[in-house]
C-alpha cells in the first residue's frame, strides 16, 4: 500500500499528462480515458460523457453480477426459511450453523478466491489471456487443500459450539445441519475461482441464467426433502450442497464449450501446481482481508447465543442478518463490478478510467442501498413473518430494524471499496484495517453494550455498526486519496512477475 499517496480521485479530470502503459495492445479501447483527458471539453461535458460510458459498462456487468449474488444468497436464505418453519429451535440451529459455522468456510474460500480476482482482472486488461486459466486452476488447488481443513471443523462443530457456551440442544441441532454442508465446502473451492475467472472477462450473464435455474430446482427439492420426505434440518442442508454443485458443474461446462473462453481456457495444465508458495501469499492476504470481515458477523451470532433467552436473541438476530446478507448481495455485485473495472483499467494502463469507475459504482450502490433501507423501515413490523411465526420474534425484529437499515446503508459503500482494494491488490492493507475496526472496536463495543449495559442483541448490533462505520471512513479516505498513476505501475510489475514465473516453468 505504499502507492497510496496524495492524488485526489477526481483530480485527473483536468489533466492531460501521459500515463504509463504496458507495451501490449490493451483490451480496453480507451474511450473512457480519452474522454477524461480531453481538454477541449468542459468539465461538465467530460463528466456527462464519461458517466454515460461507465454506466453502460457497469450496467451490463453489475446487473447480472448482482442477480447472481442475490440468487445464490437466496438459496441459503430459503434453506433457513424452510428450517425456520419446522420450529423456532430449527430456525436458531440453521442460523447458528449457516451464519456461525458455514460462514467460516465461506469467508476463507471467498477470501482466497479474491487473489484470482486481482490477477485475472489485471491480466485480462493487459491481454495476457493464457494466464487466466492458470490462475483459476492454481487457486482451485489451494482452495481444495483448505477445504480438507474446513471439513475437520465441520465434523467437530458440536463440541466446538459447546465449548463456546452454546446450549446443548441448539449445538446438537446446528451440528446436524452443518454435517449436510460438508459437500458445499468443496463446491466453494471450485466455484469461487471459476466465478472470478469469468467475471474478469465480464462474462456474467451465463452465471445469472445458471443461478436462476438452480434456484428453482433448489426450492422444489427443498420442499420435497424437508416436508414430504421428512429429512428436516439434514435434508435442508444436503439440498443446499447439491444446488451449489449444480452451479459449479454448469459453469465449468460453459467455460469448456464457450468460444468466449477459448483464449483464456486452454485445458488442464501442470502449471497449476507451480509457484504455489508465492500464489499462496497473495491468497492468504486476500483470505485474511475477507475472513476477518466475514468472521466478524459470525462471532456476533455466536455472542447472541450467549445472551439471556438465547433462542429469541438468535431468532431475531438471524432474521436481520439474513436480510442484511441478502440485500448486501447487491453491494457485493457492485463490489465484483468495481474489482473487475478497476483491475481491467489498471491492467490496460488507464488510471483516470479506474478512478472514475470507483466514483460511479460507489455512488450508484449507495443510492440503491438507501432505497432498500427506507423499504425495510416501512415493513419493519411484518418482515419477520417470512422466516417464522410469532409476535414475540416479530416485535424483536421490528426493534432491530432501524439498526438493520443503517447497516444496509453502510453496506452500500463498504463492500464496493473492498472491491476496489481487490482490484488494486491492497488485500494486506485492508486486512490490518479490518483487524483494528472490527476486532479492536466493533466486537468489544458490542460485547460491552450487549452484556454489561444489557442492551442484548441490539447492543451487539450497535457494536458491529461502530466497527463497520470506522472501516468505511478509513477506506473512503484511502481510496479517494490514491495515486492511480502509481497503481498502474504496480499492476504492470505484478503481471510481469507472474508472467516471468510462467516463462521460467516453460524453459
Residue extents of the structural domains in the chain: 64-274, 289-502
Q: What pTM was estimated for this model as a whole?
A: 0.70
Give the CA radius of gyration of the chain.
23
Q: Tell me: the pLDDT tens digits for 435-463?
A: 888 888 988 898 899 888 888 778 888 88
User: Across residues 351-367, what is the average pLDDT?
Assistant: 91
Nearest-angstrom CA–CA distance, 244 and 218: 9
Contacts 24+ apart (CB under 8 A), 477-481: 478/1, 478/4, 478/429, 479/9, 479/358, 479/417, 479/420, 479/421, 480/8, 480/9, 481/4, 481/5, 481/6, 481/7, 481/8, 481/9
Three-state DSSP at 15 gives coil
Nearest-angstrom CA–CA distance, 440 and 233: 36
Burial of 253 (0-12, 13-18, 19+ CB in 10 A): exposed
Alpha-carbon dihedral 78, 83, 86, 89, rounded to 10 degrees: -140
Nearest-angstrom CA–CA distance, 486 and 492: 10
Q: Tell me: the pLDDT tens digits for 282-328?
A: 777 667 766 666 666 667 666 777 777 677 777 777 788 778 877 87
Letter string b/e over residues 201-235, b meaning 16 or more CB atoms within 10 A of that residue's CB: bbbbbbbbebbeebbeebbebbeebbeeeebbbbb
Nearest-angstrom CA–CA distance, 348 and 23: 10
Cell digits of residue 304: 447472541
Nearest-angstrom CA–CA distance, 115 and 352: 24
Q: Say yes or no to pLDDT of 198 above 80.
A: yes
pLDDT band at 7 (very low <50, low <70, confident <90, very high): very low
User: Across residues 65-79, what is the average pLDDT?
Assistant: 82
Neighbours of 499 (CB within 10 A): 15
Instruction: Check the CA dihedral 453-458-464-465 and report its sign.
Output: negative
Letter string b/e over residues 353-382, b meaning 16 or more CB atoms within 10 A of that residue's CB: bbbbbbbbbbebbbebbeebbeebeeebee
Q: Tell me: the pLDDT tens digits for 142-182?
A: 889 889 988 998 999 889 888 877 788 888 888 888 999 99
Q: Tell me: the pLDDT tens digits for 230-280?
A: 888 889 999 999 999 999 999 999 999 999 898 889 888 877 777 777 777
149 contacts: CB under 8 Å, gap ≥ 6: none
500 contacts: CB under 8 Å, gap ≥ 6: none
DSSP state, 7?
-
Cell digits of residue 40: 477541449
Closest to 72 in 3D by CA, of 315, 285, 332, 253: 332
Nearest-angstrom CA–CA distance, 3 and 334: 24
Helix (H) or strand (E) holding 88: helix 88-95
pLDDT band at 498 (very low <50, low <70, confident <90, very high): low
Nearest-angstrom CA–CA distance, 459 and 441: 13
Q: Tell me: the pLDDT tens digits for 364-407?
A: 999 999 999 999 999 988 888 877 777 888 888 888 889 889 98
Nearest-angstrom CA–CA distance, 19 and 73: 40
Amino acid at each position: 500500500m505504499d502507492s497510496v499517496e496524495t492524488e485526489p480521485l477526481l483530480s485527473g479530470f483536468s489533466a492531460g499528462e501521459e500515463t504509463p502503459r504496458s507495451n501490449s495492445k490493451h483490451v480496453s479501447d480507451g474511450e473512457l480515458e480519452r474522454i477524461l483527458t480531453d481538454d477541449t471539453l468542459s468539465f461538465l461535458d467530460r463528466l456527462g460523457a464519461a458517466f454515460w460510458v461507465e454506466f453502460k459498462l457497469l450496467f451490463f456487468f453489475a446487473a447480472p453480477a448482482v442477480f447472481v449474488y442475490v440468487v445464490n444468497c437466496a438459496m441459503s436464505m430459503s434453506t433457513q426459511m424452510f428450517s425456520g418453519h419446522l420450529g423456532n429451535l430449527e430456525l436458531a440451529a440453521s442460523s447458528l450453523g449457516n451464519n456461525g459455522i458455514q460462514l467460516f468456510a465461506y469467508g476463507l474460500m471467498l477470501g482466497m478466491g479474491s487473489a484470482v480476482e486481482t490477477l485475472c482482472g489485471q491480466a485480462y486488461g493487459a491481454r495476457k489471456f493464457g494466464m487466466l486459466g492458470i490462475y483459476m486452476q492454481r487457486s482451485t488447488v489451494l482452495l481444495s487443500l483448505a477445504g480438507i481443513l474446513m471439513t475437520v471443523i465441520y465434523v467437530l462443530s458440536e463440541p466446538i459450539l459447546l465449548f463456546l457456551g452454546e446450549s446443548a440442544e441448539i449445538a446438537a441441532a446446528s451440528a446436524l445441519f452443518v454435517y449436510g454442508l460438508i459437500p458445499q465446502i468443496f463446491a466453494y473451492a471450485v466455484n469461487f475461482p471459476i466465478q472470478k475467472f469469468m467475471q474478469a472477462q465480464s462474462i456474467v450473464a451465463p452465471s445469472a441464467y445458471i443461478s436462476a435455474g438452480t434456484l428453482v430446482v433448489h426450492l422444489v427439492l427443498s420442499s420435497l426433502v424437508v416436508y414430504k420426505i421428512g429429512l428436516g434440518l439434514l435434508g435442508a442442508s444436503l439440498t443446499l450442497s447439491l444446488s451449489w454443485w449444480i452451479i459449479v458443474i454448469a459453469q465449468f461446462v460453459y467455460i469448456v464449450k464457450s468460444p468466449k473462453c477459448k483464449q483464456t481456457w486452454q485445458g488442464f495444465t501442470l502449471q497449476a501446481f507451480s509457484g504455489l508458495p508465492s500464489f499462496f501469499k497473495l491468497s492468504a492476504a486476500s483470505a485474511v482481508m475477507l475472513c476477518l470481515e466475514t468472521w466478524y458477523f459470525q462471532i456476533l451470532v455466536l455472542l447472541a447465543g450467549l445472551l439471556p433467552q438465547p433462542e429469541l436473541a438468535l431468532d431475531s438476530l438471524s432474521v436481520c442478518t439474513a436480510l442484511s446478507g441478502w440485500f448486501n448481495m447487491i453491494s457485493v455485485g457492485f463490489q465484483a463490478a468495481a474489482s473487475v473495472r478497476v483491475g481491467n483499467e489498471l491492467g490496460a494502463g488507464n488510471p483516470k478510467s479506474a478512478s472514475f469507475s470507483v466514483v460511479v459504482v460507489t455512488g450508484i450502490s449507495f443510492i440503491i442501498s438507501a432505497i432498500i433501507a427506507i423499504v425495510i423501515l416501512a415493513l419493519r413490523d411484518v418482515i419477520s413473518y417470512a422466516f417464522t411465526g410469532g409476535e414475540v420474534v416479530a416485535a424483536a425484529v421490528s426493534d432491530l430494524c432501524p439498526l438493520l437499515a443503517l447497516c444496509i446503508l453502510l453496506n452500500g459503500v463498504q463492500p464496493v471499496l473492498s472491491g476496489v482494494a481487490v482490484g488494486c491488490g491492497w488485500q494486506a492493507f485492508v486486512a490490518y484495517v479490518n483487524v483494528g475496526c472490527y476486532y479492536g472496536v466493533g466486537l468489544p463495543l458490542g460485547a460491552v453494550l450487549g452484556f454489561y449495559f444489557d442492551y442484548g442483541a441490539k447492543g451487539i448490533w450497535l457494536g458491529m455498526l461502530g466497527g463497520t462505520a470506522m472501516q468505511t471512513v478509513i477506506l473512503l479516505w484511502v481510496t479517494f486519496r490514491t495515486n492511480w498513476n502509481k497503481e498502474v505501475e504496480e499492476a504492470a510489475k505484478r503481471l510481469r512477475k507472474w508472467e516471468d514465473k510462467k516463462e521460467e516453468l516453460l524453459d
